[in-house]
Structure 1
């Protein structure tokens, strides 16, 4: 891997060190250059990120599974057009409904 000099970087990207320094100072002051590419979500107490899924604090839940079972979970999630996390949330929600506690 070749390490580029500052001059090579400036030539390749058309951005000088002075521009980068100015953009950094502007960003620190809350001034952002360029066009926005989408909304920025701010979760109270958490800062920027994706929109909240629920109207309450969330806590991570995790457990370990054999790699072979994870493959099966992922395959089933894909069949249903879901991500792994969506599929697992769905299973928990459905079980809680069946138990009459959700």
Structure 2
């Protein structure tokens, strides 16, 4: 904790005492500020459309390969898989 606090002190110009005080406040549930609205969990709608989960199981090796390929393209795994599906549907003329 001390190492992390020291990094925060330097990065955000706060003291260890301020960090400890804020930590105690949050643990007590005393969070300053005004609530800004309901907390909504999950990914936001894309283009105003509702989303459904699509999933499948794959071997660990293939998942590692997918992740490596996605990373090489600057993507996350989910974005990479969406990109592949979009390309295939476009090639098939259905999207």
**TM-score bracket relative to the smaller structure:** 0.5 to 0.7
**SS of corresponding position for 1:73:** helix
Distance 1:95 1:85 in 2: 16
Q: What is the TM-score normalised by the length of structure 2? A: 0.60
- Cα distance 1:53–1:71, how it changes in 2: closer, same or farther (>3 A)? same
1:28-43 → structure 2 map (5 Å cutoff): 31-32=34-35
Unaligned stretches of 5+ in structure 2?
1-18
Pick aligned residue for 1:58 from 33, 51, 54:
51
- Structure number with higher helix proportion: 2
2:70 is aligned with 1:95 = no
Q: How does 1:1-102 map to 2 (within 5 A)?
A: 13-14=20-21, 20=28, 23=30, 31-32=34-35, 47=40, 51-102=44-95
Query: What TM-score results when the alignment is normalised by the length of structure 1?
Result: 0.56
Secondary structure of the corresponding residue to residue 14 of structure 1: helix
Q: Give the drift of 1:13.
A: 1.9
State the structure with more CA Rg: 1
Shift of 1:54: 2.9
Q: Which runs of 5+ in 1 are unaligned?
A: 1-11, 33-39
Structure 1 segments of 4+ aligned residues over 6 angstroms from their partners: none
State the number of aligned residues. Answer: 74
